[in-house]
Amino acid sequence: MLYPKIGIRPTIDGRWGGVRESLEKQTMGLAVAAKKLMETLRYPDGTPVQVVISPCTIGGGAEAAKCEEYFSTQNVTATLTVTPCWCYGMETFDMNPHTIKAVWGFNGTERPGAVYLAAVLAAYAQKGLPAFSIYGHDVQDLTDTEIPQDVAEKILRFAKGAVAVGWMKNKAYVNIGGVAMGIMGAYCDTNVFQKYFGIRAEWVDMTEILRRITLGIYDHEEYEKALAWIKENCPEGFDKNAGLNLPEIITKSKVVPPDKDWEFIAKFSLIVRDILYGNPKLDEMGWHEEALGKNAVAGGFQGQRQWTDWLPNGDFTESIMASTFDWNGPKMPTPFATENDTLNGASMMLATLISNTAPCFHDVRTYWSPEAVKRVTGYEVTGAAEGGFIHLINSGATALDGTAAPVNEKGEHCHKPFWEMKDEDIQACLKATDWCRADYQYFRGGGFSSHFRTQAEIPVTMLRISIVEGIGPTIQIAEGQTVVLPDEVHKKLDQRTDPTWPTTWFAPRLTGEGAFKDVYSVMANWSANHGVTVYGHIGAELITLASMLRIPVTMHNVPEDKVFRPHCWAAFGTQDTQAADYAACKHYGSLYK
């Protein structure tokens, strides 16, 4: 794979004869320190992020061109310019319109790194090239080689966003099927995916899955392995259909016998993965075209209703695709949307690329006020849930990491990147989950839904991308935590909806203002019926990424001092930063014109 890289541009005072020579070691030292810092990050496949440094310090236009020539051979997505001193702004700046840019001006009194920073950022603004400004809060000594914490935080935030942009570029969002039940988010807007994410949209009819099952276009050895793993690790839960006198239209619609559901689902899961990523085993079997895959970064499955009205649902497949493991052990999670809600699939994609953890797909189902909880259960909520909470639930397709069963070295429940998932973490997720037979009144073809509840209070971030006429794509971000309710309280609330589905109780962090005035306001301002949660508080990183993509943030509860956008956003206003964000995104337009 050709990995997206970050290029470091060490700029320097161009005056030879004592000035430049005295600065070479320090300037290159800043570049090396920044490189080591960013190389602590990882790509979504677990390999360390690759960072390259210009072959020379940059004191003028000739050296800037030499740096750019080198970067053009390295698939550099973003550049970080570093300097401890004054440099010639227009002669040394990164004029490539296709790279994402940041500048770190060393805060020291001996040399005016801050002066260059201000001068070059003015040049970027005037040239219409947004750039992020990185400047330490405290003055450092000239000989100090340490990167201050506030500087490191901004460099890493910039790098995470830049890697996400580079990783998704030129890949595909694969729509398996079309639109589910009239859900607007499932109408894939090809222009949005191309212009904002650099992604091509692809479609595969759901009949392709049936063709491959019928003709045996899958790895038969792996099928046996997957089916054995499912039978050993996926116990069946209760059957909601037992004892029901179902109408004939339902009973005659199930064409796969109930005792054959898992066999069908195992083949289905292998085939969906192969459609997205390809499989060299298929080439050995003579299926050359199918072996290629679609170069996917994310995807979704329509399911309802043309599939689920007569065939086993996609819940297991969607769940295991998004999880950090399967029958082969730990694996990179795939953002894969239920009901082919492509905008939620894109939300899953951004969340996973930033956090490197599994994305959990949810219906944003119900706001439970403290008063309503007490009326129904007699329980008085406290702690993070004292203002109420939101019921996040989905038709059995949520990543199993959503159980919060894994435990870190401190003994705390969490989600983990796949490369940190141990066998005991995987087993904990599996033991926390059973698989309930699908409700035949909704899914005539049967299948199974993952059934669990998030078992620990952990930090999560909820997000959603939506498209608004006249604006384009927007993003909503809500940091908060999961809530654990007493068993009897959970049972009474959970059984008011479909009890065969996985549940997460979510309490957003409140600010007392705007959409975060209270939990009801968060629910009332949410833009669609779906949302995504991912582990940790990554709202600041998502805001930085959104600004790179030119997607305005509709609502967020990230502390203002953590918001990091290109410096020129301030030119659109500093008092109302949300309005400035909208104005800047509109002015600069999508990242890929």
The catalytic position among 339, 457, 494, 581 is 339
**For residues 282 and 466, what is the distance between their CA atoms, to the nearest angstrom?**
37
Q: Is the dihedral of CA 526, 527, 530, 532 positive or negative?
A: negative
**For residues 45 and 42, what is the distance between their CA atoms, to the nearest angstrom?**
8
Q: How many CA atoms does the CB half-sphere of 353 hold within 13 Å?
A: 27
Angle at 362 between CA 44 and CA 410, to 5 degrees: 55
155 alpha-carbon distance from chain centroid: 19
**For residues 494 and 500, what is the distance between their CA atoms, to the nearest angstrom?**
9
C-beta neighbour count of 496 within 10 angstroms: 12
In one-letter notation, the amino acid at residue 527 is S
C-beta separation of 398 from 506 below 8 A: no
**For residues 335 and 415, what is the distance between their CA atoms, to the nearest angstrom?**
15
Written as six digits, the tokens of 331 are: 């694996």
According to DSSP, the residues that pair with 453 across neighbouring strands are 503
123 alpha-carbon distance from chain centroid: 33
Q: Are strands 325-326 and 360-368 parallel, antiparallel or unpaired?
A: unpaired
The catalytic position among 63, 290, 363, 498 is 363
> In the block, which residue shows the tokens 């949209």?
201
Q: Are strands 51-53 and 5-10 parallel, antiparallel or unpaired?
A: parallel
φ, ψ dihedrals at 382, nearest 5°:
-135, 180
SS3 content of the chain, % helix, strand, coil (to 5): 40, 20, 40
**For residues 502 and 180, what is the distance between their CA atoms, to the nearest angstrom?**
21
Query: Residues 416-437, buried b or exposed e (16+ Cβ, 10 A)?
Result: bbbebbeeebbebbbebbbbbb
Written as six digits, the tokens of 579 are: 């309005």
Of the chain, the end-to-end C-alpha distance in Å amounts to 25
User: Does the annotation mark 189 as catalytic?
Assistant: no
Written as six digits, the tokens of 410 are: 């401190």
Going through 89-199 in order, the beta strands assigned E by DSSP cover 100-105, 131-134, 172-176
Angle at 451 between CA 448 and CA 452, to 5 degrees: 160
User: Does the annotation mark 309 as catalytic?
Assistant: no
- Name the CA radius of gyration of the chain, rounded: 26
- Catalytic (active-site) positions: 339, 363
